[in-house]
Structure 1
Amino acid sequence: MKSFSIIICVLAVWLSASNVVAQTGKTVQGMLRDNESRVVAGASVQLEGDKDTLGTSTSPAGIFTFNNVKSDKFTIKVSSLGFEPFARQFSFSPGQDKMTIPSFQLQGIANMLEEVIVDGVITVQVKGDTIEYATKDLKLREGALAEDALKRLQGVEVDKDGNVTAQGEQITRVRVNGRDYFGGDVKTATQNLPADIINKMQVIDDYGDMANLTGNKTGDAEKVLNIEIDPDKNNGYTSMLRVGYGTDDRYQATASIMAMRDKMQLSVLGNLNNINAPLFDFNTQGGGARRRQGGGGRRGGGGMFGGGNGITNTGSLGINYRQDISDKLTVYGSYSFGHDDNDALSSSLNKFIYPDSILDRNSTSNTNTIGNSHRFDANFEWKPSERDFIKVSPQIGYGRTTTVSENFNENLLNSELYNTESNYLDGVSKSPNMGVSALYNRRLNDKGRNIFFNMNISSSGTKQDQDRIIETIVGDPNNSDMTVDSLYRQTIAEMDNKSWNGGASVSYLEPVSQFGKIELSYDYNVNTYDNNRSQDAFNADGSVLDDSRYIFDRMYDYSFSTHRFGANYNYDNDKVRYAVGLSAQPTILNGDALVDGNAIDIHRNGFNLIPIARFEYKFSRQKNLQVNYSGRANEPSVTQIQPFTDNSNPTNIVTGNPDLDAEFQHNVRFRFNSSDFQTGKTFFMILNGTFTQDKIVSNNLRYSDSELGVVQETNYLNEDGAFNLRGFYHYGRSFKNKVYSLNFMGRASYNNNPSYTEGDLNKAQNWNLMQGLMFRYLPSENLEINPGVQYSWDHTFNTLNERSVVMRSWAPNLVGSVNITPTIIFGTDVSKTFYQGNAYDDNPFIINAYVEKRFLKGQRGTLRVQAFDLLNEQTNISRTVSDIQISDTRTNRLGRYFMLLFTYRLAKFAGGIAPQEERGPGGMRRPRM
Structure 2
Amino acid sequence: MKLKFYLIIIFCFLVTARASAQKPTGSIHTVVVDQKQQPLEYVNAVVVNAADSVAVKSTASNKQGSIEITGLKQGSYKLIVSQLGLKRLVRPFAISNQKPTANLGTLTMEPDVHNLNEVAVSAVKANATIKGDTTEFNARAFKTQPNDNVEQLLKKLPGVEVDKDGKVTAQGQQVTKILVDGKEFFGNDPKAVTKNLPADAIDKIQIISDKTEKAKNTGIDDGQREKVMNVTLKDDKKSGWFGNVSAAGGTDSKYLGQFNINHFDNKRQLSALFLSNNVNESGFTMEDLNAFTGGNVFDTFSNNGSISINVNSNGRANINGAFAGVNGGLITNHTGGLNYSDMWGKKNQLKFNANFITVLSSNNLAEVDNIQDPVQNLLTNKNINGNNRYNSYRLNMNLEYKPDTLNTLKLKPNLSYSYTHSNNVTGITSTDLNQTLLNNASQSLDQVLRNPVLGAIFSANHKFQHGKGSINLYTTDSYSPYRNKATNIFNIAYPTNSTVPDSTANLQTAQNNNGTISNTTLSFIRQLSKAHKLNLTLSQGFNYRNDNASQTTIDYNPVTGRYEILAPNLSGIYDNTNYRYSSTAGLSKSGAQTTVSLNAELADLGLRGNFTGAQASSVNRNDWALVPNASFSYHPKVGPSIYLSVRSDVTMPSVTDLLPIINTTSNTYKKIGNPDLRMSRSVNFNGNMNTYDPKTNNYFNIYGSFTETWNGFSTESFYDNTGITTSRPVNTDGNFSSNFGFNVGMPSKVKGLRFNYGLNGAINRNVNFINNNKNAVLRVAPGVSLSSSYDIDMLQLSLRTYTTYNNATNSFQHEADNKYYSFNNNATVSVKPVKSWRIYTDLSQSLYRGTPSSTNSSVYLWNAGVERYFMKSQNLTVALTAFDLLNQNSGIQRSLSTTGQITNTQTNTIGQYFFLKLTYKISKLGSAANKPGNSGIVIMR
Taking structure 2 as the reference length, the TM-score comes to 0.80
In the alignment, the residues of structure 1 paired with residue 538 and residue 162 of structure 2 have an alpha-carbon distance, to the nearest angstrom, of 40
* Residue 697 in structure 1 maps to residue 714 in structure 2: yes
1:767 equivalent to 2:780? Answer yes
Letter of the 1:764 partner, please give it. Answer: V
The CA distance in 2 between the partners of 1:798 and 1:390, in whole Å, is 54
8 Å Cα contact 1:245-1:900 kept in structure 2: yes
Q: What residue identity is the alignment partner of 1:601?
A: S
- The DSSP-based 3-state class of the residue aligned with 1:172 is strand
Deviations 1:848-899 (A, max 9, x none): 1111111123111111111111111112221323425332222222111111
Q: Cα 1:429–1:256, aligned 2, differ >3 Å: closer, same or farther?
A: same
Q: Find the residue that maps to 1:822 and give its secondary structure.
A: coil
Aligned-partner Cα distance in 2 for 1:491–1:555: 18
For 1:853, the equivalent position in structure 2 comes to 868
- Would you say 1:143 and 2:158 are equivalent positions? no
**Cα distance in structure 2, aligned partners of 1:248 and 1:215:** 57
Q: Secondary structure, in 3 states, of the residue corresponding to 1:183?
A: coil
Equivalent of 1:594 in 588, 591, 612: 612
Q: CA offsets, 1:665-713, max 9 Å, x none?
A: 2111121222224412111111111111111111111225xxxx43211
CA distance in 2, matches of 1:117, 1:392: 36
- Which residue is 2:328 aligned to? 309
Q: Is the 8 A contact 1:796 1:881 kept in 2?
A: no
Give the Å deviation of 1:200: 3.8
Q: Distance in 1 between matches of 2:363 and 2:564?
A: 37
Aligned partners of 2:468, 2:787: CA distance in 1, in Å?
46
Change in Cα spacing, 1:285 to 1:249, as seen in structure 2 (3 Å) is farther
CA distance in structure 1 between the aligned counterparts of 2:167 and 2:616, rounded to whole angstroms: 49
1:337 aligns with 2:358: yes
Distance 1:846 1:538, change over 3 A: same
Is 2:601 aligned against 1:583? yes
1:401-416 equivalences in 2 (<5 Å): 401-413=420-432, 414-416=434-436
Q: 1:26-425 counterparts in 2 under 5 A?
A: 104=113, 124-135=128-139, 139-153=143-157, 155-159=159-163, 162-209=166-213, 217-279=221-283, 285=303, 290=308, 298=316, 309-326=328-345, 327-354=348-375, 358-413=377-432, 414-425=434-445
Shift of 1:248: 1.1
Matched, 1:561 2:579: yes
Alignment CA distance shift 1:135-1:727 (3 Å): closer
Residue 911 of structure 1: how far off its partner (Å):
4.6
Contact 1:322 1:331 (8 Å CA) reproduced = yes
1:869 equivalent to 2:915? Answer no
State the alpha-carbon separation in 2 of the partners of residues 160 and 552 from structure 1: 40
The Cα of 1:446 is off from its aligned counterpart by 2.2
**In structure 2, how many angstroms separate the alpha carbons of the residues matched to 1:436 and 1:800?**
49
Give the Cα separation in 1 of the matches to 2:176 and 2:250: 34
Question: Given residue 765 of structure 2, which amino acid in structure 1 is its aligned partner?
Answer: N
Contact 2:209 2:227 in 1 (8 A): yes
Asked if structure 1 preserves the Cα contact closer than 8 Å seen for 2:325 and 2:391, the reply is no
When residues 231 and 879 of structure 1 are mapped into structure 2, their CA distance, relative to the original with a 3 A threshold, is closer
Distance 1:126 1:798, change over 3 A: closer
- Partner of residue 801 from structure 2, selected from 769, 786, 789: 789
Q: Which secondary structure does the structure 2 equivalent of 1:189 belong to? A: helix
Q: 2:525 aligns with which of 509, 514, 522?
A: 509
Offset at 1:257? Answer: 0.6
Q: Distance in 1 between matches of 2:597 and 2:219?
A: 13
Q: Is 2:557–2:564's contact at 8 Å kept on the other side of the alignment? A: no
More divergent stretch after superposition (495-504 vs 628-637): 628-637
The 2-side partners of 1:352 and 1:269 are apart by 45
Look up the match of 1:25: none
Contact kept in structure 1, 2:186 and 2:301, CA below 8 Å: no
Residue-by-residue CA offset, 1:703-755 (whole Å, 9 max, x unaligned)? 25xxxx43211111111111122212111111358711111112221111011
Displacement of 1:551 in angstroms is 5.3
User: Is 1:428 matched with 2:448?
Assistant: yes
Which residue does the alignment assign to 1:518? Answer: 536
Cross-structure match for 2:649: 632
- Structure 2 residue matching 1:248: 3-state secondary structure: helix
Q: Give 2:831's aligned residue.
A: 818
Matched residues in 1 for 2:394 and 2:745: separation? 39
Q: Give the CA deviation at 1:453.
A: 1.1
Partners of 2:539 and 2:85 in 1: CA distance: 33
Q: Which 5+ residue runs of structure 1 have no aligned equivalent?
A: 1-31, 41-80, 85-101, 108-113
Q: Deviations over 1:513-554 (max 9, x none)?
A: 232111111111111111211212236666789999785321
Aligned-pair CA distance for 1:647: 5.6
**Partner residue of 2:56?**
none
Contact 2:570–2:663 (8 Å) recurs in 1:
no
Segment drifting more, 175-184 vs 614-623: 614-623
Q: Secondary structure at the match of 1:446?
A: helix
In 1, Cα distance between equivalents of 2:270 and 2:695: 37
Structure-1 separation of matches of 2:161 and 2:598? 34
Q: 1:776 aligns with which of 753, 770, 789?
A: 789
Kindly indicate whether the alpha-carbon contact (under 8 Å) linking 2:194 and 2:315 is maintained by their aligned counterparts in 1.
Answer: no
**Could you say which residue in structure 1 is the equivalent of 2:478?**
458
Q: Which residue identity does 1:321 align to in structure 2?
A: Y
Alignment-mate amino acid for residue 474 of structure 1: Y
Aligned to 1:673: 690
Cα distance in 2 between the residues matched to 1:915 and 1:148: 32
Q: Which amino acid aligns with 2:413?
A: P
Q: Assess, with a 3 A threshold, how the Cα gap between structure 1 residues 816 and 574 changes in structure 2: closer, same or farther.
A: farther
SS of match in other structure, 2:917: strand
1:613 corresponds in structure 2 to: 630
Query: What is the match of residue 813 of structure 2?
Result: 801
Report the CA distance between 1:416 and its aligned residue.
1.5
Partner residue of 1:749?
762
Q: Percent identity?
A: 25
Taking structure 1 as reference, are residues 897 and 187 closer, same or farther at Cα in structure 2, changes over 3 Å only? same
> In the alignment, residue 855 of structure 1 is paired with which amino acid?
F
Give 1:436 deviation, angstroms. 0.7
Aligned equivalent of 2:739? 726
Cα distance in 1 between the residues matched to 2:377 and 2:148: 54
The aligned residue for residue 62 of structure 1 is none
**Using a 3 Å threshold, how does the CA distance of structure 1 residues 39 and 814 change in structure 2: closer, same or farther?**
closer
Secondary structure of the equivalent of 1:188? helix
- Give, in angstroms, the shift of residue 198 of structure 1: 3.6
Tell whether the 8 Å contact from 1:561 to 1:587 is kept in structure 2 after alignment. Answer: yes
Instruction: Write out per-residue CA displacement over residues 885-923 of structure 1, whole angstroms, 9 at most, x where no aligned residue.
Output: 33222222211111110111121125546999888xxx9
Residue from 761, 765, 771 that aligns with 1:758: 771
Q: Give the aligned partner of residue 95 of structure 2.
A: none
Query: Once the two structures are superposed, what CA deviation does each residue of 1:346-366 show, in whole Å capped at 9, x if it has no partner?
Result: 112222335xx6222111111
The 1:539/1:338 distance shift into structure 2, 3 A limit, reads same
Q: As a proportion of its length, which structure holds more helix?
A: 2
d(CA) in 1 for partners of 2:380, 2:522: 53
**Count of residue pairs the alignment pairs up:** 810
* Stretch of structure 1 that moved more, 307-316 or 681-690: 307-316
CA change 1:746–1:152 in 2 (3 A) is closer
Q: What one-letter code is carried by the residue in structure 1 that aligns with 2:404?
A: S
Q: 1:543 to 1:651 in 2, by over 3 A?
A: farther
